[in-house]
């Protein structure tokens, strides 16, 4: 899961008190009896399971997704241990106990004879319910109503969401399973009814299909939960690689909006079509038999990984902007997770059920390595310019070096507090730290690549480690230990890998900028921002902005004021709102602010309009010179990043090594 896109401006559970039987009898609507008529006899389609083993047949009615935003499910659950049931809590990919049980809007249980089965919630665990049947229970029918479109900070991507034009269905929202039973052993059959004429995409195989319903081929519960459904009034299914000797990959797109032109440019589609082969070259082949890139447009930025699909979300302006790094890396990032995180993952994250708490110590591998490889593949395929990759590198280095929270909090500690750090601190993120295992983890692996190539004189690289440790020709066990990771690095090239991990991950230390940049052929310098250069404007980072006016922004609100900075000297404070500069409304557009500041000076201050403690004020702001930190090419040394970024597949776009770099000591990075 990549970081949720943060625009620069950018208790109670549903209380069912006591037992549930009277509520169920009293509120069942007459139409509910007909809701699943289309699935009549569906329980007979239950998949094969060993005698006495648990099995689930799940019928989902999603016809109310685009209207009221509700999903109805009827679950037929059989097995020997039905007195305590659990709602999936730790959903893979979220690294959080975020199974959105709070969004249930109805839960009614019956036995095989149609008699109501009473239930109550566990007093200590909201994800657990205890059943009180009148007799022995060999199967139970659960009718659930799920309220879509109200995800928590952590459940976004594994929740159900919709608009009038699209829907995302995650099965984990719609079922319970017997406590203690391994999801990988529960035979599960899923059927689904969509709004009339809606199309869909899923990594689940279709067993049979009628005009308005789909029955998927039975698999085990863990595979069902790893294969959500993206659906919509109109969908595009674009082949990225046709099934052949290599597994097929399809890009499935739904958009919130109607528009005349295609939502993906032909250049970006061409680049995405290189992604499967470039990933295969990196990992030595694929684990999946087919992969679906499930892209919804106009829903904000987020992504969530699965073994055979990725759920991606981006706004159209992000897709249209060739320099927005986050959107450029989104789909490659989730794709990389098929190898790094899904088919191979840190052993502590390989929990037997969705109720078990994982050990998140190695998110610096799971997410950090993926963060690096996602961006690298974006460059190798042509989705991202090498200059933008370097701009992202500079932003990560400068952000981390200015993060004072690194003085007290190790990177490992950010892993262990992963989901608590998902929402950035609105007041002092620099003290608390964010999910830094993404960016600092990526820098660790960048240094690993440099060391592997330096030690072997360019013969071996991070590609060799990826092939030998994460690819289908490496170990087949899904889980790995840190000791195994160290041994695998040592098998590629000798080095004090354990010592490096200890220093980077388990100690508080100044960021080793020298290891990242020294002798790379690039030096980090401040250059003035050209207010007329849109790319230069785009590359100005939050840290550059902070250096100029001494404030960060959250949705236009001032946060983390530098007490000695130009904004603080105006008497403004945390929580005030900046609405306009030089007469231009800011909205969510960071670039308007940057362009205005680039032309301002003490002699020509900018005029800003603010809400200070709720009252409007117009003030004159004299920023410090707005400069951009960039990597400037040092022609005396070879470009040490070029081998990492160069395309691997013959005939694919080759990334210019130093040709696209500015000459020595230029004014502004291209
Ligand atoms: Zn990720």
User: Do 643 and 458 form a contact (C-beta atoms < 8 A)?
Assistant: yes
Q: Cα separation of 376 and 449, whole Å?
A: 12
Please, which residues bridge with residue 201 across strands?
Answer: 230
Alpha-carbon span 376 to 378, nearest angstrom: 5
Report residue 198 CA to chain centroid gap: 26
Q: Is the dihedral of CA 108, 157, 312, 282 positive or negative?
A: negative
- Of the three residues 347, 378, 409, the one that is the final residue of a domain is 378
CA distance 299 to 313: 6
| Residue with token string 């930190």 | 629
Two tokens, residue 108: 């009614």
Q: How many domains does the chain have?
A: 3
Q: Are residues 129 and 47 in the same domain?
A: yes
> Rounded to whole angstroms, what are the CA distances from 290 to 10, 65, 240, 313, 335?
36, 27, 11, 20, 12
| Residue 115, helix vs strand vs coil | coil
Return the pLDDT at 85: 98
| Rounded distance from Cα 432 to ligand 1 centre (Å) | 21
Note whether residue 220 is domain-resident: yes
Can you state the angle between helices 462-469 and 439-455, rounded to 10 degrees? Answer: 110
Q: β-pairing, 128-132 with 118-121?
A: antiparallel
Q: Are 326 and 297 in contact (CB under 8 A)?
A: no
Report how far Cα 35 is from the mean position of its chain's Cα atoms. Answer: 34
The answer on 156 and 241 residing in a single domain is no
Q: Are residues 248 and 212 in the same domain?
A: no
List the CATH number of the domain containing 50. Answer: 2.60.40.3650
Q: With b meaning 16 or more CB within 10 Å and e meaning fewer, what string describes 183-198?
A: beebbbbbbbbbbeeb
Which stretches does DSSP call E strand in 87-202? Answer: 104-111, 118-121, 128-132, 139-147, 161-162, 166-169, 177-178, 187-193, 199-202
Other residues' Cβ atoms within 10 Å of the Cβ of residue 334: 29
Contact status, residue 72 vs residue 35, Cβ threshold 8 Å? yes
Ligand 1 centroid from CA 8, angstroms: 20
pLDDT of residue 50: 58
Residue 563 in any domain: the answer is yes
Could you tell me if 64 and 200 lie in one domain?
Answer: yes
Cα 163 to ligand 1 centroid, rounded to whole Å: 25
What backbone torsions phi and psi does residue 76 show, to the nearest 5 degrees? -105, 110
First-residue to last-residue Cα distance in the chain: 30
Let me know: does 96 contact 88? Beta carbons within 8 Å.
Answer: no
Is 111 found in the same domain as 172? yes
Among residues 70, 1, 84, which one has the least CA distance to residue 334?
1
Do residue 52 and residue 172 come from a single domain? Answer: yes
Q: How far is the CA of 306 from the centre of ligand 1 (A)?
A: 10
Ligand 1 center to residue 523 CA distance, Å?
A: 29
pTM (global) more than 0.75 = yes
333 belongs to a structural domain:
yes
Ligand 1 centroid to 616 CA: how many Å? Answer: 41
CA-wise closest residue to 368 among 414, 427, 407: 414
> To 10 degrees, the CA torsion angle through 444, 450, 454, 456?
90
Please tell me the total number of residues recorded for the chain in this structure. Answer: 670
CA of 458 to the centre of ligand 1 (A): 28
Cα 492 from chain centroid?
Answer: 30
The CATH number covering residue 281 comes to 1.10.390.10
**Residue 605 maps to which CATH number?**
2.30.42.10
Residues 197 and 89 reside in one and the same domain? yes
Instruction: Look up residue 486 and give its two tokens.
Output: 């160290």
491 CA distance to ligand 1 middle (Å): 26
SS3 128: strand
552 CA to middle of ligand 1, Å?
Answer: 25
3-state DSSP assignment of residue 573: coil
Last residue of a domain, one of 180, 211, 232: 232
Residue 155 sits in the same domain as residue 66:
yes
Query: Under the phi-then-psi rule, with left for phi > 0, alpha for psi from -120 to 50, and beta for the rest, what region is 3?
Result: beta
* One domain, residues 317 and 339: yes
List all residues 6 or more positions away from 416 whose beta carbon is below 8 Å from its beta carbon: 360, 361
Rounded to the nearest whole angstrom, what is the distance from the C-alpha of residue 305 to the centroid of ligand 1? 7
Determine the distance separating the centroid of ligand 1 and the alpha carbon of 1, expressed in angstroms: 3
Residues 317, 207 share a domain: no
pLDDT for residue 561: 87
CA 372 – ligand 1 centroid, Å? 10
Same structural domain for residues 242 and 272? yes
- Burial string for 105-117 (b: 16+ CB within 10 Å, else e) reads ebbbbbbeeeebb
Same domain, 222 and 289: no
Q: Please tell me the chain's helix, strand, coil percentages from 3-state DSSP, rounded to the nearest 5.
A: 30, 25, 45
Q: Is residue 62 part of a domain?
A: yes
Is residue 633 assigned to a domain? no
Ligand 1 centre distance from Cα of residue 107 (Å) = 33
**Rounded to 5 degrees, what are φ and ψ at 241?**
-150, 125
Cα 665 to middle of ligand 1, angstroms: 36
Task: Tell me how far the alpha carbon of residue 147 lies from the centroid of ligand 1, in angstroms.
Answer: 26
State residue 291's pLDDT score. Answer: 98
> Phi/psi at 500 (nearest 5 deg)?
-65, -40
What gap in Å lies between CA 291 and CA 277, rounded to an integer? Answer: 13
Number of H helices, E strands in the chain: 21, 31
Instruction: Tell me how far apart the alpha carbons of residues 253 and 236 are, in angstroms, rounded to a whole number.
Output: 5
DSSP character at residue 565: S
Quick one: DSSP state of residue 555? T
CA of 463 to the centre of ligand 1 (A): 19
- Separation of CA 524 and ligand 1 centre (Å): 28
Q: What spacing in Å lies between the alpha carbon of 362 and ligand 1's midpoint? A: 13
- 194 is written with which tokens? 């969509």
Q: Give SS3 for 316.
A: helix
Four-point Cα dihedral 561, 565, 567, 571, nearest 10: 90
In a domain, 418, yes or no: no
| Stretch (H or E) spanning 374 | helix 368-381
384 DSSP assignment: S
Per-10-residue mean pLDDT, the chain, length 670: 47 29 40 80 58 89 96 95 96 96 97 93 98 91 97 95 96 98 96 95 94 92 98 95 96 87 90 98 97 94 96 93 93 98 97 98 98 98 96 92 93 97 83 95 98 98 98 96 98 98 97 97 92 80 87 85 92 92 83 88 91 93 91 96 94 45 31
Q: Alpha-carbon distance 447 to 441, whole Å?
A: 10
Ligand 1 centroid, distance to 369 Cα (angstroms): 9
In a domain, 659, yes or no: no
Q: How far is the CA of 560 from the centre of ligand 1 (A)?
A: 27
Q: Please indicate, yes or no, if residue 433 is contained in any of the structural domains.
A: no
Ligand 1 center to 656 CA (angstroms): 28
Contact 131, 118 (CB under 8 A): yes
Task: Report how far ligand 1's centroid is from the alpha carbon of 141 (Å).
Answer: 36
pLDDT at 257: 83
Its domain, for residue 94, covers 13-232
């Amino acid at each position: 899961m990549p970081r949720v896109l943060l625009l620069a401006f950018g208790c109670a559970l549903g209380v069912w008190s006591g037992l549930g039987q009277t509520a169920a009898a009293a509120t069942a609507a007459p139409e509910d009896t007909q809701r699943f008529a289309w699935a009549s006899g569906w329980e007979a389609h239950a998949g094969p399971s060993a005698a006495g083993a648990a099995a689930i047949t799940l019928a989902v009615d999603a016809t109310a997704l685009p209207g009221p935003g509700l999903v109805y499910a009827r679950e037929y659950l059989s097995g020997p241990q039905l007195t305590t049931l659990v709602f999936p809590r730790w959903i893979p990919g979220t690294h959080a106990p975020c199974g959105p049980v709070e969004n249930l809007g109805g839960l009614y249980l019956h036995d095989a004879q149609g008699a109501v089965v009473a239930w109550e919630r566990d007093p200590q665990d909201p994800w657990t319910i205890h059943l009180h049947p009148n007799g022995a229970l060999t199967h139970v029918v659960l009718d659930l109503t799920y309220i879509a479109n109200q995800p928590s900070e952590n459940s976004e991507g594994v929740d159900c969401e919709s608009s009038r034009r699209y829907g995302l269905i995650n099965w984990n929202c719609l079922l319970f399973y017997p406590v203690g039973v391994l999801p990988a052993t529960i035979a599960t059959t899923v059927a689904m009814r969509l709004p009339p004429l809606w199309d869909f995409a899923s990594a689940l195989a279709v067993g049979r299909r009628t005009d308005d319903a789909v029955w998927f081929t039975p698999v085990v519960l863990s595979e069902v939960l790893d294969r959500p459904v993206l659906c919509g009034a109109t969908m595009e299914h674009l082949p990225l690689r046709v099934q052949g000797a290599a597994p097929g990959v399809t890009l499935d797109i739904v958009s919130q909006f109607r528009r005349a032109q295609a939502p993906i440019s032909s250049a970006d589609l061409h680049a995405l079509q290189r992604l499967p082969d470039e990933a295969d070259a990196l990992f030595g082949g694929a684990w999946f038999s087919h992969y679906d890139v499930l892209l919804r447009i106009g829903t904000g930025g987020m992504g969530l990984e699965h073994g055979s699909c990725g759920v991606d979300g981006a706004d159209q302006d992000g897709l249209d902007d060739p320099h927005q790094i986050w959107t450029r890396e989104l789909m490659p990032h989730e794709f990389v997770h098929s190898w790094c995180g899904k088919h191979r993952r840190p052993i502590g994250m390989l929990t037997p059920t969705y109720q078990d708490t994982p050990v998140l110590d190695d998110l610096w591998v799971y997410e950090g390595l993926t963060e690096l490889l996602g961006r690298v593949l974006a460059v190798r395929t042509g989705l991202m310019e090498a200059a933008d990759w370097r701009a992202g590198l500079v932003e990560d280095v400068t952000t981390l070096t200015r993060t004072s929270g690194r003085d007290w909090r190790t990177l490992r500690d950010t892993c262990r507090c992963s989901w608590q750090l998902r929402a950035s601190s609105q007041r002092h993120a620099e003290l608390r730290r964010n999910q830094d295992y993404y960016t600092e983890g990526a820098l660790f692996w960048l240094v690993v690549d440099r060391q592997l190539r330096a030690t072997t004189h360019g013969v071996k690289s991070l590609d060799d480690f990826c092939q030998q440790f994460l690819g289908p020709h490496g170990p087949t066990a899904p889980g790995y230990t840190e000791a195994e990771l160290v041994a695998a690095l040592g098998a590629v090239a000798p080095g004090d890998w354990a010592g490096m991990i200890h220093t980077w991950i388990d100690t508080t230390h100044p960021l080793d900028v020298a290891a990242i940049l020294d002798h790379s052929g690039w030096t980090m310098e401040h250059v003035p921002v050209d207010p007329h250069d849109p790319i230069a404007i785009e590359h100005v980072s939050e840290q550059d902005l902070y250096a100029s006016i001494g404030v960060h922004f959250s949705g236009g609100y001032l946060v983390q004021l530098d007490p000695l900075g130009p904004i603080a000297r105006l008497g403004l404070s945390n929580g005030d709102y900046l609405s306009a500069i030089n007469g231009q409304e800011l909205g969510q557009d960071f670039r308007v602010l940057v362009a205005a500041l680039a032309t301002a000076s003490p002699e020509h201050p900018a005029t800003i309009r603010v809400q200070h403690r709720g009252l409007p004020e117009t003030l004159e702001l004299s920023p410090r010179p707005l400069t951009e930190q960039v990597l400037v090419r040092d022609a005396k040394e070879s470009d040490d990043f070029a081998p990492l970024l160069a395309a691997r597949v013959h005939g694919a776009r080759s990334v210019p090594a130093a040709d696209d770099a500015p000459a020595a000591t230029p004014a502004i990075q291209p």
